Amino acid sequence: MTAHFSDIKGKHVIVTGGSKGIGRDVAIEFAKLGASVVITGRDENALIETKSELSRFSSPHNYIVADMREVTEVIQMVDEAAGLMGGIDILVNNAGVNLPKSAFEVTEEDWDSMIDTNLKGSFFCSQQVGRYMLKQKKGKIINIVSQMAFVGYFKRAPYCASKGGAVQLTKALAVEWASQHINVNAVAPTFIETELTKQMLEESTFREDVINRIPLGKLARPRDVTGAVIYLASNMADFITGETIKVDGGWTAI
């Protein structure tokens, strides 16, 4: 019997925001499965640290410093990654920011930072990666969105808007590229204890409110999200496109 996810071995993978949190966990799992991985982000020290972890596994792995808000940098990053690996089979659009503020306090800079990182960056990264996948007539793109694409929450207006847009982007690209055998899907996590959420989850009232909204009664871990990503990247999900898997412990089922 063929081992689950054995088809991941030898694949060429880009994970944006791959040095921390969910992205780091996803990148490490791809490396464990024998893929060649390029991680990207803005923090070079964190990228170097994570690349060192990836290097424990056989395939060659690299990092590229890039800001997802800058389209020129995104395009250059994709081209460099394709050159380093000899192609791109899988893209995980994980890079994201969240700046919790009440709607009246949100500045134009706040709005642009979240929309540009969470939505614009994902589109232009997918666009450039899509050019490579088009040539080979196959590929998998997985967008990390959020349950906030489906429900509202306090102090999250721009974040909800950006992630809701990313879900619709997933559907639009899936439809447009289906004939080229490029699958585009998304994973929508609930709150997870990562560098991005650690400080906000230290507030006891907020943490209690979040857990009370999750029927499973606990927070997710990065590996819960990674499982969904690996599944969508594998040949077990070849007939799935335009879909969003919610990893939310049942929050949006209520």
**Catalytic annotation on 159?**
yes
pLDDT of residue 2: 55
Query: Could you tell me if residue 70 is inside a domain?
Result: yes
**If you average pLDDT over every residue of the chain, what do you get?**
96
Reported pTM? 0.96
Report yes or no on 202 lying in a domain.
no
- Count up the domains in the chain and report the number: 1
Domain membership of residue 47 (yes or no) is: yes
Q: Is 247 helix (H, G, I), strand (E, B) or coil?
A: strand
Vertex 31: Cα angle to 59 and 117 (nearest 5): 115
Q: Residue 88 falls within a domain, yes or no?
A: yes
In DSSP terms, which residues pair with 244 in a beta bridge? Answer: 186
Token pair in block for residue 138? 């196959």
Residue 213 phi, psi dihedral angles, 5° rounding: -90, -5
CA distances from residue 34 to 58, 81, 203, 223, 244 in whole angstroms, order as listed: 7, 17, 39, 18, 26
| 4 within a domain of the structure (yes/no) | no
What are the pLDDT digits (tens) for 141-193?
999 999 999 999 999 999 999 999 999 999 999 999 999 999 999 999 999 98
Instruction: Evaluate whether residue 240 is within a structural domain.
Output: yes
Using only C-alpha atoms, the chain has a radius of gyration, in whole angstroms, of: 17
83-118 pLDDT, tens per residue? 999 999 999 999 999 999 999 999 999 999 999 999
Q: Does residue 179 belong to any structural domain of this protein?
A: yes
Given 63, 153, 159, 231, the catalytic residue: 159
Domain hosting residue 28, numbered range? 9-194+221-248
pLDDT per residue as tens digits for the range 3-14? 789 999 999 999
pLDDT at residue 248 above 60? yes
163, HSE (Cβ side, Cα atoms, 13 Å): 27
Q: Which residues pair with 91 in a beta bridge?
A: 14, 141
DSSP one-letter string for 154-210: TT-HHHHHHHHHHHHHHHHHHHHHGGGTEEEEEEEE--B-STTTHHHHTSHHHHHHH
Task: Give SS3 for 31.
Answer: helix
Q: Span 36-47, mean pLDDT?
A: 97
Residue 64 lies in a domain: yes
Instruction: Look up the CATH number of the domain holding residue 28.
Output: 3.40.50.720
